């Protein structure tokens, strides 16, 4: 038997995450549950599936490179096999991990959830959340020279104005996608410390409102619509949060706040 050393080298790359949903990657997967002491993914899956409509929040930790992402990939596949709509994403693709605040994580989670639901043809009406995003976009447009986000005119509900279903931020002419709009903002923020600072000044005092809007305008309505389509429910998996540099920025109290809220979010 001839050994293809180039292929052998590539598949042994520890920085490459196995996607156990792919047949090619499945042949390289090794179940280490016996030496780890328990089948953690089975426990996570059972907690989610047995809880039915009761929301769960679970923290999955481990040393860097020990296989967390591979196991989360397996969890995603198993939950999808049981009928769940799973939103999985690597936070490192959206965040500057050396400089992260709670509002950054919340905005990223919201964008990923909305994008996945839009792709699944789930229509939501996140009026409050849309208003928060448009407020942030208008602030950046007014404060940063040369920066211009395309934001349709928006008027708040309750003042005798009907809000069109398509209000959002334009991704294509005549089409509106809130996920696209959030993505534009977060991409600019990731690449510019000044924009991140302005965005946080606007969003950090509104963190509680953002959490409430995500729960009441995104998660709960999505759960209902998915179940109407025969799905078991919605699961959001946020990977790579362990890579965040959790260093104090404005004193020890801020560091403690970050640690506690990360635990609550994951």
**263 pLDDT more than 50:** no
Q: Is residue 4 part of a domain?
A: no
Give the count of domains, the chain: 1
Reduced to 3 states (helix: H, G, I; strand: E, B; else coil), residue 191 is helix
Please tell me the predicted confidence (pLDDT) of residue 83.
Answer: 95
DSSP 8-state symbol, 215: I
Q: What is the mean pLDDT of residues 110-118?
A: 93
* pLDDT one-digit tens code per residue, 7-18: 888 877 777 788
Reduced to 3 states (helix: H, G, I; strand: E, B; else coil), residue 246 is coil
* pLDDT one-digit tens code per residue, 171-216: 444 456 788 888 888 888 888 888 888 899 999 999 999 999 999 9
pLDDT > 90: percent of the chain: 30
Q: Is residue 256 part of a domain?
A: no
Core vs surface per residue 9-34: b (16+ CB within 10 A) or e: eeeeeeeebbbbeeeebeeeeeeeee
State which H helix or E strand residue 175 sits in.
strand 175-176
Tell how strand 233-239 and strand 175-176 pair up.
Answer: unpaired
Who wins on pLDDT, 42 or 163?
A: 42
In this prediction, residue 32 has a pLDDT band, given cuts at 50, 70 and 90, of: confident
Q: Is residue 258 part of a domain?
A: no
CB 86 within 8 A of CB 235: yes
* Dist. CA 126–CA 27, nearest whole Å: 43
Phi and psi (nearest 5°) for 157?
A: -70, 160
In this prediction, residue 249 has a pLDDT band, given cuts at 50, 70 and 90, of: low
DSSP 103-169: HHHHHHHHHHHHHHHHHTT-----HHHHHHHHHHHHHHHHHSTT----------TTSS-PPPTT-S-
Query: Range of 144's domain?
Result: 18-160+172-243
In this prediction, residue 29 has a pLDDT band, given cuts at 50, 70 and 90, of: confident
Residues 6+ apart with CB under 8 A from 120: 85, 226
Q: Is residue 93 part of a domain?
A: yes
Q: Is residue 9 part of a domain?
A: no
Who wins on pLDDT, 176 or 88?
A: 88
Phi-psi region for residue 123, left (φ > 0), alpha (ψ -120 to 50) or beta? beta
Who wins on pLDDT, 178 or 108?
A: 108
Q: Is residue 266 part of a domain?
A: no
Please tell me the predicted confidence (pLDDT) of residue 106.
Answer: 93
pTM value surpassing 0.75: yes
CB 239 within 8 A of CB 91: yes
Q: Is residue 233 part of a domain?
A: yes
Q: Is residue 259 part of a domain?
A: no
């Amino acid at each position: 038997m001839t050994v293809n050393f180039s292929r052998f080298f590539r598949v042994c790359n520890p920085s490459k995450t196995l996607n156990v949903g792919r047949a090619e990657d499945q042949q390289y997967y090794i179940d280490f549950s016996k030496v780890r002491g328990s089948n953690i993914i089975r426990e996570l899956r059972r907690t989610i599936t047995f809880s039915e409509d009761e929301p769960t929040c679970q923290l999955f930790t481990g040393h860097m490179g020990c296989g967390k992402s591979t196991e989360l990939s397996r969890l995603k596949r198993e939950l999808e096999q049981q009928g769940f709509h799973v939103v999985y994403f690597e936070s490192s693709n959206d965040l500057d991990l050396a400089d992260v605040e709670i509002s950054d994580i919340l905005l990223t989670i919201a964008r990923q959830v909305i994008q996945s639901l839009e792709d699944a043809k789930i229509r939501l009406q996140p009026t409050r959340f849309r208003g928060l995003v448009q407020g942030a976009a208008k602030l950046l447009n007014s404060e940063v020279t040369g920066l211009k986000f395309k934001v349709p005119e928006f008027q708040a509900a309750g003042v005798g104005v009907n809000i069109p279903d398509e209000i959002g931020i334009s991704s294509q002419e005549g089409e509106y996608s809130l996920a696209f709009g959030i993505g534009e903002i977060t991409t600019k923020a990731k690449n510019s410390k000044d924009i991140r600072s302005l965005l946080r000044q606007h969003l950090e005092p509104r963190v509680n409102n953002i959490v409430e809007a995500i729960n009441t305008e995104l998660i709960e309505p999505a759960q209902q619509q998915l179940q109407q389509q025969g799905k078991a429910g919605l699961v959001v998996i946020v990977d790579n949060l362990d890579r965040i540099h959790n260093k104090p920025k404005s004193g020890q109290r801020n560091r403690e706040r970050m640690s506690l809220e990360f635990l609550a979010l994951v």
